[in-house]
Structure 1
Amino acid sequence: MTILVTGGAGYIGSHTVVELLNQGEEVVIVDNLCNSHAASIDRIEEICQKRPAFYQVDIRDKAELNTVFSQHNFTSVIHFAGLKAVGESTTIPLHYYQNNVSGTLSLCEVMAEHNVKNLVFSSSATVYGDPHTVPILESFPTGATNPYGRSKLIVEDMLSDLYKSDDSWNIALLRYFNPVGAHKSGLIGEDPNGIPNNLVPYITQVAVGRLAQLSVFGDDYNTVDGTGVRDYIHVVDLAKGHLKALNKLAANSGLVTYNLGTGKGYSVLEMLAAFEKVSGKSIAYQIAPRRPGDIAACYSDPSLAKAELDWQAELNLDDMAEDSWRWQQGNPNGFAS
């Protein structure tokens, strides 16, 4: 089968493309490269000895997207394309709604025109907002606390309405927790444009000397050490979850929702200590005020994905730290190295 991967040159997308190619699938990538790098396509080819087809297209451009669909016989779409930084979303919310919501609407309209009705959507644990308790189950109430999370929740509601209107669609909503790590080869990893918005690339860039120090946003949360606690999941485990979701859709699953996480939370300072251990470097940090929209603790109950997808995270915190550090050491300036 031929699978379209939107945002496939990005962090999670590129790792998922590697897993798909290694499984023998035909893969086509669509990415506008606004927060990703064309060099990742070369690295994917180096890892897999096979090059995915690539189109530099913005999914909001329906004419260009229609052209891509006309040239391939897609069976499924994995949809990563979108903006993803919580903090940034609070400063430019309309940009997030335009990219994440309008982009998905455009994609679904083109999919419908070409009768491609299997979709795996890259959602987020931010749709749960500030949960009343942890670990988080899929049945928990939703209610995002920031524009990024709301954009994901709007898309989830939109896809649910689409399924209710036409149950020939098969849609998997995958609610990620916090992806970290990199491919074992050290050839692909997280390389955000500008100053990183996520914790781990910030830590590794400080460790490699690219940034002076880490800002820890808030040390007065009700957590083990006052810093925010998150469920960090290795990006390769996360990528494999998408292949399991495709298998689920192939059985005419309808609309399904799964948490993809480890079920364990680590604080910012615990993550920092793990990377100091792996890198052998002292990582400078300063305490900064809490960011708008951040919450104290967020970690998953991933048991439904284990039961229904036959998926669970296999890589641990040491793997996450070692693989992130290998990527950053080998690519101190990211894909520009």
Structure 2
Amino acid sequence: MAKILVTGGAGYIGSHTVLALLNKGHQVVVVDNLFNASYESLVRVQKLANKSLTFAEVDIRDKAALSQVFAQESVDAVIHFAGLKAVGESVQKPLAYYQNNVEGTLTLVEVMKQHQCYHLVFSSSATVYGEANQPPYIETQPLGNPTSPYGKTKAMVEQILMDVAASDQRFKITNLRYFNPIGADISGDIGEDPNGIPNNLMPFVAQVAVGKREKLAIFGDDYPTKDGTCLRDYIHVSDLAQGHVDALNWLFNQQEGCCEAFNLGTGDPLSVLDIVRGFEQYSEQKIAFEIAPRRSGDLPAFWADSDKARSQLQWTPVKTLQDMMVDTWRWQSKNPNGY
């Protein structure tokens, strides 16, 4: 099996992907600066997989330290999660987002090239479609102009990686555009543990259920949707992790250089109220909420056309809404304060 370096591997999606890689027999090297993650997640991943991994506390912008990891480990491929990810915060701190997400990726790719590592799976986002494209989003649509600096960094990095692949046929790259990951590993031992007030719906709902938050704010109930609340494409994080493993397998089977984008979503959008009601149904916890004014930049609806991932990567999401809700509650109730 291959040796895979995972940047940001201690984070929410990263830790679930590391678990999936270990369970498939790969060796894993995790690089993470632990700015928005906990090493405890990796301790638990190793217990769940009954396998060890290599960890380096390194910021991907630190070229010398990153290069040292590559020199020691003889890496076959990289899955790149490391970066800042809060849309609202990116508006307040754009420089931090461009430095971490764009500069960090440039440094990573330079070091990969130095050490003759040419397989890369990049954690992108559906935000790259911007506001001009209409759902369901499909990979043939042009890169849009996202409203937030966070979204712009993802679109910029995708463009950079396309240019890199075009300039050097040794590079084989996938840009995985995903939508709204929720849920947790079925064990309840790893899950989403945001710093401070959650930016995303699901951890906020779970924290209300466990008593950490008084009530949920639903931003707007007057959108042109079935119940007035925003529609999103929610995907179980374990399905998403499997998508990265499948993308890696696809890259290893490519005969020529490439840079391909794939949507990872269910294609079945759910509203904010669907999520709240679903959580109440499957966790048997009541969620207090209030309707708040719309948030700037929120689109009424977006979801994926994932046919390309299904046909080319042989990837199929299998987790249901019930799985998403039950697994979220199992994680939150076992770990009321996170890690």
TM-score normalised over the length of structure 2: 0.97
- Mapped partners of 1:131, 1:210: distance in 2: 38
Pick one of 251, 257, 276 that aligns with 1:249: 251
Residue 219 (1) aligns with residue 207 (2): no
Deviation string, structure 1 residues 168-220 (Cα, Å, up to 9, x no partner) = 10000000111000000000000011111011000000000011111111222
Aligned residue in 1 for 2:54: 53
Aligned residue in 2 for 1:169: 171
Aligned residue in 1 for 2:138: 137
Asked whether the equivalents of residues 218 and 290 of structure 1 are also in contact (C-alpha less than 8 Å), the reply is: yes
Q: How does 1:181-220 map to 2 (within 5 A)?
A: 181-220=183-222
Range 277-286 or range 167-176, more displaced: 277-286
Range 8-17 or range 86-95, more displaced: 86-95
Give the letter aligned to residue 92 of structure 2. Answer: T
Give the letter aligned to residue 173 of structure 1. Answer: N
Q: How does 1:67-106 map to 2 (within 5 A)?
A: 67-106=68-107
3-state SS of 2:82 partner: coil
User: Cα offset for 1:142?
Assistant: 2.2
- Mapped partners of 2:56, 2:279: distance in 1: 36
- Mapped partners of 1:226, 1:114: distance in 2: 52
Aligned residue in 2 for 1:328: 332
Deviation string, structure 1 residues 118-146 (Cα, Å, up to 9, x no partner) = 00000000101125432111111222121
- Mapped partners of 1:148, 1:177: distance in 2: 14
- Mapped partners of 1:286, 1:97: distance in 2: 34
3-state SS of 2:322 partner: helix
Q: How does 1:29-48 map to 2 (within 5 A)?
A: 29-48=30-49
- Mapped partners of 2:246, 2:285: distance in 1: 37
- Mapped partners of 1:282, 1:175: distance in 2: 33
Give the letter aligned to residue 227 of structure 2. Answer: D
Q: Percent identity?
A: 56
Deviation string, structure 1 residues 220-261 (Cα, Å, up to 9, x no partner) = 211111111100000000000111111111122511110000
Asked whether the equivalents of residues 131 and 298 of structure 1 are also in contact (C-alpha less than 8 Å), the reply is: no
Pick one of 266, 271, 274 that aligns with 2:275: 271
Pick one of 298, 306, 317 that aligns with 2:321: 317
Range 222-231 or range 117-126, more displaced: 222-231
Q: Please, which runs of 5 or more residues in structure 1 have no aligned partner?
A: none
- Mapped partners of 2:28, 2:129: distance in 1: 32
3-state SS of 1:29 partner: strand
3-state SS of 1:221 partner: coil
- Mapped partners of 2:142, 2:171: distance in 1: 24
Range 131-140 or range 109-118, more displaced: 131-140
User: Cα offset for 1:291?
Assistant: 2.0
Give the letter aligned to residue 111 of structure 2. Answer: V
Asked whether the equivalents of residues 229 and 266 of structure 1 are also in contact (C-alpha less than 8 Å), the reply is: yes
Range 252-261 or range 184-193, more displaced: 252-261
Aligned residue in 1 for 2:27: 26
- Mapped partners of 2:161, 2:4: distance in 1: 19
Pick one of 281, 287, 297 that aligns with 1:293: 297
TM-score normalised over the length of structure 1: 0.97
Give the letter aligned to residue 84 of structure 1. Answer: K
Range 208-217 or range 151-160, more displaced: 208-217
Asked whether the equivalents of residues 41 and 51 of structure 1 are also in contact (C-alpha less than 8 Å), the reply is: no
- Mapped partners of 1:92, 1:228: distance in 2: 26
Asked whether the equivalents of residues 87 and 292 of structure 1 are also in contact (C-alpha less than 8 Å), the reply is: no
3-state SS of 2:124 partner: strand
Asked whether the equivalents of residues 90 and 292 of structure 1 are also in contact (C-alpha less than 8 Å), the reply is: no
User: Cα offset for 1:78?
Assistant: 0.1
Deviation string, structure 1 residues 84-103 (Cα, Å, up to 9, x no partner) = 11122122122111111111
